[in-house]
Structure 1
């Protein structure tokens, strides 16, 4: 069996569709240009980002119905190794539409189909067959999955001595830090919820992240600050990296690209100082492309080179 240093998990992937139109008028038929299709969902996007940096990962994801078949074809077209776990319900779709008249972007997402107990066990059994150095669980949970699902993934990661990176939100994130993982990537609002406060100011982020670390929730907390950049916090270090000023076309997949850049850098044994800079570089580079395309490797390299002096 082929071994992989990195495995990504997407339990609620999406067939991403994006298109352009001119003029949004209520109750009128909106004519869209030919759509673009991309394989989407947290872990799949992370695997795509790793591939753009020259790395390799195994993408594990659920797949159902004709949309799932198309999703698999799109992942294969990216030359990403994958293991699809087939489910009864169709893989969901998401839609991004850009109004060329105003350059406004509209994002439509749908909930994932219900996952049965048997399908949930199939996902966990699949993960348990691998012993990667890094395991990435990213994205939302389908209906039917308990909010503690990522806790079960964390237990598998610990048994295989894998470092688990989790990028999710809400109760799923709150539950997984109860058991403890290697790295989490909340935004400021999500971090505030984790420590039980309504909001956090910038100067409070470091201490809030250290609270999570002190309780064993994570070894590394990376806090996304959106257009301001990101911070990486460990029990004895704090690293702030400003986001470079780029011409933004879409924010779709920017967070996943950031995770992909960091995981790739970790797999290359790069310092944490470089890890967070690769993350910010990839996340920023993703915003330079339209729709759901993520980033170009050359853009990420150029932005990283600029960030090295920051």
Structure 2
């Protein structure tokens, strides 16, 4: 009998033991989402009752992995009543949490959907200021939690005070322990990661971030692929991925350069699509898939996430169906 391939292969005796996954969220949030009949300036907007959900890059990566039947350890900084609400919600979802020892009050974020035109407006707060002592404490907590060979996923924005090169510098320690960093960030932290010779295992960004980083418009897929190849060469990263929206994800590895295109879906919310991608990608890597096949799982997870509201992230059944519809083409 043919075995059905799915995201949770831990019980498959033909598979090797799964690699540990460690997500890191230095700037988590409690996400509030609501809807207004129309978003109009200078008027009181009567909104629907808000949904309250956990947020932050690494937090959502762990949630996506759990949605797909996988397991990860979630490291995060949290504090205050908002932090308590966040961790209570994550524990209710069954996540394995560990604090970074930095207990500043956790921030909030807000997304509002305009019912008149379907557009979504997202308001992201900066988070608390970190001190040098906070950075040292978080670094020690990460290294203490590091398992040999683990996939380490710092994801999301940085709080003020955290050095842009924090995780790039940490990469030496992670690599020495046999670990592999998958970095998904933006802004000045992404610029730090794009410096020559950073040597990350995987570097991911979206099209807009790639354009900002390159200083070019990158209108064609070949332009995106050429820039990904440049990053692959200059940074020494083993894998570089640039998400190009509905067109799919461009990936460059030592063995292949190409596009993985998702099935056509009707989008509901783009929130969490990138985090779902990273979750699907990391989970597939953890079970031994090659990088391109793992990227296909990530593309399927992102496609699933855009069909769900707010930060519900990917759905396992959809991902298992969508991954069979992901197409590959060399660039």
Match of 1:199 among 198, 208, 217: 217
Q: State which drifts further: 114-123 or 23-32.
A: 23-32
Name the SS of the counterpart of 1:118 in structure 2: helix
Match of 1:72 among 87, 100, 104: 87
User: Partners in 2 of 1:102 and 1:213 — Cα distance?
Assistant: 39
Q: CA deviation at 1:50?
A: 0.8
Match of 2:173 among 125, 148, 156: 156
Name the SS of the counterpart of 1:186 in structure 2: strand
Match of 1:117 among 112, 129, 132: 132
State the partner residue of 2:120.
105
Q: How many residues align?
A: 307
User: Partners in 2 of 1:116 and 1:305 — Cα distance?
Assistant: 47
Q: CA deviation at 1:113?
A: 0.8
Match of 1:140 among 147, 153, 157: 157
1:1-310 alignment runs, 5 A limit: 5-129=20-144, 130-131=146-147, 132-178=149-195, 179-192=198-211, 194=213, 196-200=214-218, 201-307=220-326
Q: Report if the CA contact (8 A) 2:19-2:286 is conserved.
A: no
Please give the TM-score of this superposition, normalised by the length of structure 1: 0.92
Q: CA deviation at 1:100?
A: 2.5
Q: Report if the CA contact (8 A) 1:177-1:217 is conserved.
A: no
Which 4+ runs in 1 deviate beyond 6 A? none
Name the SS of the counterpart of 1:17 in structure 2: strand
User: Partners in 2 of 1:116 and 1:216 — Cα distance?
Assistant: 28
Q: Report if the CA contact (8 A) 2:262-2:327 is conserved.
A: no
Please give the TM-score of this superposition, normalised by the length of structure 2: 0.87
Q: CA deviation at 1:86?
A: 4.5
Q: Deviations over 1:103-137 (max 9, x none)?
A: 22221111111112221111111111122520001
RMSD: 2.0
